[in-house]
Structure 1
Amino acid sequence: MSVWRFEAIGAPWEIETSAPLPTAARSAVEGVIAEFDAAWSRFRDDSPVAALARGAGSVPAPPDTADLFATYSALSDATDGAVNPLVGASLESLGYDASYSFAASGPVSAPGDWRDRVRFDGGRLTLAEPALIDVGAIGKGRLVDLVAAMVAQHVRGDVIVDASGDLAVRGRSVRIGLEHPFDPNRAIGVWTVTDAALCASATNRRAWGDGLHHVLDARTGEPVRAVTATWAVAQTAMRADAIATALFFDGGARLAHEWGVQWVRMLTDGRVEWSPGCGAEVFRTTASVEP
Structure 2
Amino acid sequence: MGGAADARWEFTAIGTSWEILTPRPLTVDARRAVTALIDDFDRTWSRFRDDSVVRSLATRGGAVPVPPDAAAMLGAYADLSDATAGAINPLIGDALALRGYDPGYGFLDAGARPAPSRWREQLHWDDAHLRLSEPATIDVGAIGKGRLVDVVIAEVERWVALEAEGRMPGRIVVDASGDLAVRGGAHDPPERIGLEHPYDARRAIGVWDVSDAALCASATNRRSWGDGLHHVLDARTGEPVRTIAATWAVAPRALTADAIASALFFDGGPALAHAWGVAWVRMTTDGRVEWSPNCKAELFS
Query: Which portions of structure 1, spanning 4 or more consecutive aligned residues, are displaced by more than 2 angstroms?
Result: none
Question: 2:182 maps to what in 1?
Answer: 169
Question: 2:164 maps to what in 1?
Answer: none
1:121 to partner: Cα distance:
2.7
Tell me, which stretches of 5 or more residues in structure 2 are unaligned? 1-5, 161-167
Aligned pairs for 1:229-244 (under 5 A) are 229-244=246-261
Question: 1:263 maps to what in 2?
Answer: 280
1:58 to partner: Cα distance:
1.3
Per-residue CA distance 1:133-157 (angstroms, 9 max, x = gap): 0000000000000000000001132
Picking from 64, 68, 72, the partner of 1:67 is 72
Which residue type is aligned with residue 133 of structure 2? Answer: A
C-alpha spacing 1:122/1:274, structure 2 compared with 1 (3 Å): closer
Aligned pairs for 1:181-260 (under 5 A) are 181-260=198-277
Distance 1:182 1:163 in 2: 21
- Count of residues paired in the alignment: 284
1:44 to partner: Cα distance:
1.1
Question: 1:139 maps to what in 2?
Answer: 144
1:32 to partner: Cα distance:
0.7
1:280 and 2:293 equivalent?
no
Per-residue CA distance 1:165-198 (angstroms, 9 max, x = gap): 0000112410000000010000000000010000
Distance 2:87 2:133 in 1: 21
Which residue type is aligned with residue 55 of structure 1? Answer: R
Distance 2:17 2:258 in 1: 17
Secondary structure, aligned partner of 2:60? coil
Tell me, which stretches of 5 or more residues in structure 1 are unaligned? 285-291
Distance 2:49 2:80 in 1: 26
1:130 to partner: Cα distance:
0.8
1:116 to partner: Cα distance:
1.0
Distance 2:268 2:87 in 1: 10
Distance 2:229 2:66 in 1: 32
Distance 1:178 1:110 in 2: 31
Question: 1:116 maps to what in 2?
Answer: 121
Distance 1:13 1:122 in 2: 31
Distance 2:29 2:204 in 1: 37
1:7 and 2:12 equivalent?
yes
1:46 to partner: Cα distance:
1.4
C-alpha spacing 1:165/1:122, structure 2 compared with 1 (3 Å): closer
